[in-house]
Amino acid sequence: MGVQVRQIRPKRTLPFKKRHKTTWIGDNDKQKSLKLDDLKVITTLGTGGFGRVNLVQIGDDCSRSFALKKLKKSHIVATKNEKNVKEELRILSQLNSDFIVEFYQTFRDDHNVYMLMECCLGGDLWTILQKEGSFSNTTTQFYTACAIEALEYLHFRNIVFRDLKPENLVLDAQGYVKLIDFGFAKKLGIDGRTTTLCGTVHYMAPEIIRNEGHDIRVDSWTLGIVMFEFLTGDLPFGGENSYAIFKNILAGIDTVDFPENVTTSAISLIKSFCQEDPCKRLAGISAIRQHKYFNDFDWDALVARTHIPPVVPKIKNATDSSNFIDCFSDEDETPSEGMSGDMDWDADF
């Protein structure tokens, strides 16, 4: 059994494959394959355990921008995460959903592997939540619905995401939410189950903590945790250390106090997602859509992208990073050392 547990903030992840998709380049550039040297770094959008995500443009063209995720090979090898990084690439390269960030191309050099993606300049929901304190019911409804659409797309393909949290949801220019970071995602086998202990501590489902084996229903659990966080700005299960947090999670959702501003239909939905027994957990988009919390919600408009988002981010131009926290230190360009094992593990990049 593998173990891959993330502490909540500061964040980190793993990564990614090549999807030969060129429509994101202008019509004139179609078929053109980019080289790493063609990209110019504008700033850093975020950092994680394996590297950082930079905002980049192609040469001097500031009319469009991209997110370039850069991962240190030495760190991946030292932590024996080659397989996970390749799995992330394999999964991400096969996805095509309006609710999941679009992946374009990979690169590699002596020290790093890279993944070029669509950039969502509206910022990530964790940063926005820190500024706002909490989200209104309408905002929560919209953001949760976007996350549900993304997860439904993955679950239909038998992929479990396992790391839903506000940091991994970013806003595009229209104010729609997209899912990022497939470091813990896994394509399940025919039995639809897996055993790796993984996830971010506060969001982990009881069956992962108990090491009983788990399936796509762990993502329903985290939907409940994330909804609670949106509505209250807080996490339902806290604790001074991982052990205390796990103990509280195992005590169950009925031990959690809901603030008065959380409506009864929201509480009902959160509790339906956070059922301890995965068999009793609300899952599947048709059942979720019918829940009373979504009574007045227009799902068809959401999918058609005609639903008006609660917030349209202020973005001045294609290279405006003002919706991200500007607190990342300069890159450490120390040459990587200690590489060993299969030196060609990154051949897919």
Ligand X SMILES: Nc1ncnc2c1ncn2[C@@H]1O[C@H](COP(=O)(O)OP(=O)(O)OP(=O)(O)O)[C@@H](O)[C@H]1O
Residues forming beta bridges with residue 40, ordered by sequence position = 57
Q: What is the distance between the alpha carbons of residues 252 and 198, in angstroms, rounded to a whole number?
A: 19
Q: State the nearest-atom distance from the C-beta of 120 to ligand X, in Å.
A: 4
Binding residue for ligand X (CB under 6 A) from 175, 183, 206, 278? Answer: 183
Of 98, 124, 163, 298, the active-site residue reads 163
Q: Is residue 73 annotated as involved in ligand binding?
A: no
Residue 330 bears catalytic tag: no
Residue 12 found at the interface with ligand X (CB under 6 A) = yes
Residue 119 found at the interface with ligand X (CB under 6 A) = yes
Binding residue for ligand X (CB under 6 A) from 180, 209, 231, 283? Answer: 180
The widest CA-to-CA distance across the chain, in whole angstroms, is 59
| Footprint (CB under 6 A) of ligand X, residues 28-87 | 45-46, 48-51, 53, 67, 69
Q: State the nearest-atom distance from the C-beta of 342 to ligand X, in Å.
A: 22
Q: What is the distance between the alpha carbons of residues 303 and 316, in angstroms, rounded to a whole number?
A: 26
3-state percent helix, strand, coil for the chain, nearest multiple of 5: 35, 20, 50
Report the DSSP pairing between strands 197-200 and 169-171. unpaired
Binding residue for ligand X (CB under 6 A) from 72, 92, 116, 124? Answer: 124
Binding residue for ligand X (CB under 6 A) from 39, 42, 58, 117? Answer: 117
In the complex with ligand X, which residue's Cβ is closer, 69 or 155?
Answer: 69
Helix (H) or strand (E) holding 64: strand 61-72
Residue 167 found at the interface with ligand X (CB under 6 A) = yes
Count of CA atoms in the C-beta half-sphere (13 A) of 105: 17
Residue 149 found at the interface with ligand X (CB under 6 A) = no
Q: What residue has token string 């890279």? A: 114
In the complex with ligand X, which residue's Cβ is closer, 25 or 285?
Answer: 25
Residue 278 found at the interface with ligand X (CB under 6 A) = no
Q: What is the distance between the alpha carbons of residues 336 and 14, in angstroms, rounded to a whole number?
A: 17
Going by the DSSP 8-state scheme, the letter that residue 324 receives in this structure is S
Residue 120 found at the interface with ligand X (CB under 6 A) = yes
Helix (H) or strand (E) holding 58: strand 51-58
Q: State the nearest-atom distance from the C-beta of 24 to ligand X, in Å.
A: 12
Q: Which residues contact 306 (CB under 8 A, 6 or more apart)?
A: none
Binding residues: 69
The residues assigned a catalytic role are 163
Which residues make up the interface to ligand X (CB under 6 A)?
A: 11-13, 45-46, 48-51, 53, 67, 69, 101, 117-120, 124, 167-168, 170, 180-181, 183, 324
